[in-house]
Amino acid sequence: MYPVDLTKTVPPATADKKVSLSDADIDKIALFLVGNQQRFRENIIIPRILGPVQIKTIEEKRIDSVMESCAFKSIMSCVLGYGLGAAIGLFSSSVNPNVASVERQQSAREILKEMKITTLSYAKNFAVVGCVFSAIECTIESYRGKTDWKNGTYAGGLTGGLIGLRAGIKAGIVGAAGFAAFSTAIDYYMHRS
């Protein structure tokens, strides 16, 4: 690899000569020492401590980055909140029907219409709360660069405050405190178990 045997000493006659390298020679030496910037995935050695290691493909990394984005999390929270709200609304309306008039008996069509209105109302409310909370929590987590209980507490406070502000300042403060406490309790329960 080396043209000169480095184990031998330099004779005194050549010690006085100055060796000068051109820019092209320095670039070649730098490329030899540093190497190229292209990495091949096949030659990566990852120690197997807890079982086999699988390297993700580019498509899997793209899907992961999309699923970890704040927009995707907010949309998923909105959709799941809508479904959960619809289920709770359907249960609530079937257990406690709204009887409009006592004098006459309601028809099945009127009862189903009221159940539909109640179910959709619950679904929309849960969807909005889920979307707002998830968007705020993801934004706070991205800003702080940490995943801990404080993110949920801050997001709960902001979400509760925004929802409560529709009824006034006092309701906004109470809503912020209540939702923050609820979010903290849920985070504590989920991370403890």
Element (H, E) at 48: none
Rounded distance, CA 165 to CA 158, Å?
10
Q: DSSP letter at 145?
A: T
**CA dist list (Å): 57 to 54, 62, 95, 99, 162:** 9, 9, 50, 59, 41
63-76 mean pLDDT = 93
Residue 129: what pLDDT? Answer: 95
- Report residue 128's pLDDT band, with 50, 70 and 90 as the boundaries: very high
Is residue 12 over pLDDT 60?
no
Question: Looking at per-residue confidence, does 78 or 192 come out higher?
Answer: 78
Which has the closest alpha carbon to 186: 142, 160, 153? 153
The pLDDT of residue 100:
58
- Note the pLDDT of residue 98: 64
Q: pTM score, two decimals?
A: 0.66
**Other beta carbons less than 10 A from residue 123's beta carbon:** 20
Is pLDDT at 4 greater than 60 in this prediction? no
